[in-house]
Each structure stands twice: as C-alpha cells, then as structure tokens.
Amino acid sequence: MNKSILITSIGAKIPLIKAIARAKDDFDSTMKIIGADSNPNVFSRITVDDFCQIPPLEELSLEILLKYIQKYKIRYIIPTRDAELPFFSLHKKALADKGIVVFVADIEVVEFCYDKLRFYEIAKSTWAIETTLNIHELQVDSFVVKERFGSGAKNMGSDIGKAQAIEHAKKLQEPIFQPFIKGQEYSIDCYVDKNVVCRGVIVRSRDLVVNGESKITTIVHDENLAQKASDFVTYHKIQGHSVLQVLQNEKGSFLIECNARFGGASTLSDYAGLKSFLWFLQESNKEDLQVNITNKIIKQIRQDKDIYIES
C-alpha cells in the first residue's frame, strides 16, 4: 500500500516540512515523508525520512515522476514552489486515476493566480490592484515593477519613479507595472474544501518583510478583510490552501496577488489552527475536517536555528 508523502522542492523549508510532519502524525504516524529536490545538497534533507533527487522541472515528465512514486510508495504529493504548480495541476487527474492525490488547485485556478496580468484582468471588478504591461497607462508618481509570472517578490522594484521603473524592467523577463500604494501589508491564509466552502481564514500583518517573505508576522482579527478573502477564494474556486497579499490604507483594501499554495510564513496559521495539510489528508480519505482555529493574537518571529547531530 502507498504510505508516503512526497514534498517537492524542499530547499531550506524546514518549518514547512515540520508542519507537514505534524499533520502526518495526527493523521497516520506510520507514513513516511519523502523530500525531493533537484539539488542533492539541500540541508533540509536531514529532516525527512528519505530524500530523492529529481530532475529540474523543465526535464520532469509524468513518466519520470511515476517512477519515483512507485519506488517510494507515494500516496500524497505536496508541491511547494510557484513554478511547479502548473505541472502538478496539469497532471492532477492522471495521478488521481492511479490513486495519487496532489495538494494543488485545478489548472484553471493555478494559471489564474500564476499570471499576474490575467489575475488583474479577471479580478479587476472587485479589489485587485491595477496591473499593466505599459507603464504609461498608470497616472501615478511611484511604481512597482515585478515579474508577470510566479512569485512577485523576486527581483521586484518597489516605490520607484517612472524612469527608474523602466530601467528596472529591463532586468526582468516579463515585467508588469503596478501603482505603488502606501499602507499596511497583510497576508491572508485561506483553506477551501472540495465542496468550495471556505473552512478557515487567518489574516496576518506583515510586520517585517525580507526578500518578499514575512520574518515577523502577527495574527489580526479583521472580520471585513477575512470575509472579503473568503468571498474571493470561494468565488474563484481556489481550492486547498491559498495566500492573498493585500494592502490596506484609509482609501480601502487592495488585492495584490494570490498564491495558490502554502506560504513561507503560513506556518503561523497552521500553529493557530488552520490545519491545511491535515485537512488535505482528511479530505483525500473522505473524512470530516476537524476545524478549531484559535481567537488568540499570536506573533511569529522567523529566525535561523542551529541544529546539532551527535554520533
């Protein structure tokens, strides 16, 4: 019987691996966690039960993936990187036909979230921030320029003038432009079940951001933001875990993007009771979800930690 969970692109994602391990222990402690990465030297490999080096995404095929699935007795797959979501979503049904469950939204949803220009064009009637390929269409003094596809924080230019934004765009593969808006940044973790019901929402303020990722984040009880996020992810059928990036100021709230995966600091929401990995396992086995989200205000401080291994 297939009894392993495959986590892809494990890199340095030790907190994420630990969150999955806790979910695994709560669901079925006999399962193993298999970590995968194209780099054989990732140090997070010491935190998984077994490690497999897989080809880079551009060389990976369904046939190659199935060989690893068979070798390691994989039953569940949890992709962790934006760029690989389309691959796993595209093959989600073929894998399901073989009894393998992938923690990823449907391909239409993944493509909607992955392409920031398409995301705006579809969601602009609600609260999505204006996005364009042509900087001259924006009548503002300060700009944000970022990659059109994938994680927006990578190589992003923020709060820069028009001339500087045009120069910065030359460093990017497919740049898009947005107006820079001052305000409080929030990440909103959501979980939508297979019946397209939002089972949990946690709003987090982004108190200290380094390279686009929250190093200090705090739970905020904002019912209006939580409801807007819930309405958005259910309307667009963003099933599973998603993270909305939002700016809020005196003029309102502005949706920047939505990542259809578990985020780096989403471990705070997991700690607070939004148990996305456990719920994924429960849903995959047609079990009722156990939802118990705290009403406490919790701050998370993410830091490097020394690990000691004695022999």
- The dihedral through the CA atoms of 204, 208, 214, 217 has a sign that is negative
Same domain for 22 and 92? yes
Cβ atoms of 152 and 212 closer than 8 Å: yes
Closest by Cα among 22, 188, 182 to 5: 22
Q: pLDDT at position 188, please?
A: 98
Per the structure, the count of domains in the chain is 3
Cβ atoms of 80 and 13 closer than 8 Å: yes
Asked, for residue 115, whether it belongs to a domain, the answer is: no
What does the block give as tokens for 21? 């391990």
Same domain for 165 and 199? no
Asked, for residue 113, whether it belongs to a domain, the answer is: no
Same domain for 84 and 56? yes
Asked, for residue 257, whether it belongs to a domain, the answer is: yes
Which bin fits 73, alpha (ψ -120 to 50), beta or left (φ > 0)?
Answer: left
Q: pLDDT at position 152, please?
A: 61
Q: pLDDT at position 126, please?
A: 82
Q: pLDDT at position 214, please?
A: 87
For residue 2, is pLDDT > 60?
no
Asked, for residue 110, whether it belongs to a domain, the answer is: no
Rounded to the nearest 5 degrees, what angle is found at the Cα of 265, between the Cα atoms of 264 and 270?
110
Q: How far is 244 from 251, CA to CA, in rounded Å?
A: 19
Closest by Cα among 197, 193, 166 to 283: 193
Q: How far is 90 from 20, CA to CA, in rounded Å?
A: 23
Same domain for 152 and 70? no
Q: pLDDT at position 245, please?
A: 95
**Mean pLDDT, residues 280-300 taken together:** 96
Using only C-alpha atoms, what is the Rg of the chain? 20
**Main-chain dihedrals φ then ψ at residue 142, nearest 5 degrees:** -130, 140
Q: How far is 192 from 259, CA to CA, in rounded Å?
A: 13
Q: What is the CATH number of the domain that holds 62?
A: 3.40.50.20
Of 164, 179, 194, the last residue of a domain is 179
Mean pLDDT of the chain: 95
Q: How far is 246 from 306, CA to CA, in rounded Å?
A: 33
Closest by Cα among 157, 161, 166, 156 to 135: 166
Asked, for residue 71, whether it belongs to a domain, the answer is: yes
Asked, for residue 200, whether it belongs to a domain, the answer is: yes
Q: pLDDT at position 303, please?
A: 87
Same domain for 186 and 297? yes
Same domain for 28 and 71? yes
For residue 1, is pLDDT > 60?
no
Cβ neighbours for 227, distance < 8 A, ≥ 6 positions apart: none
Q: pLDDT at position 307, please?
A: 76
Q: What is the CATH number of the domain that holds 271?
A: 3.30.470.20
Instruction: Convert the pLDDT of each residue in 209-233 to its tens digit.
Output: 887 788 999 999 999 999 999 999 9
Same domain for 171 and 193? no
Cβ atoms of 106 and 114 closer than 8 Å: no
Same domain for 292 and 237? yes
pLDDT band of 306, cuts 50, 70, 90: confident
Cβ atoms of 62 and 94 closer than 8 Å: yes
Same domain for 88 and 42? yes
Cβ neighbours for 243, distance < 8 A, ≥ 6 positions apart: 187, 188, 189, 190, 258, 259, 261, 262, 263, 266
> Domain containing 167: what range?
130-179
Which residue type, as a one-letter code, is found at position 107? I
Instruction: Convert the pLDDT of each residue in 86-137 to its tens digit.
Output: 999 999 999 999 999 999 999 999 999 999 999 999 998 889 999 999 999 9
Same domain for 93 and 27? yes
Asked, for residue 307, whether it belongs to a domain, the answer is: no
Asked, for residue 310, whether it belongs to a domain, the answer is: no
Instruction: Convert the pLDDT of each residue in 153-177 to its tens digit.
Output: 778 999 999 999 999 999 999 999 9
Cβ atoms of 77 and 95 closer than 8 Å: yes
Same domain for 55 and 155? no
pTM (2 decimals)?
Answer: 0.93
Same domain for 187 and 142? no
Of 68, 88, 104, the last residue of a domain is 104
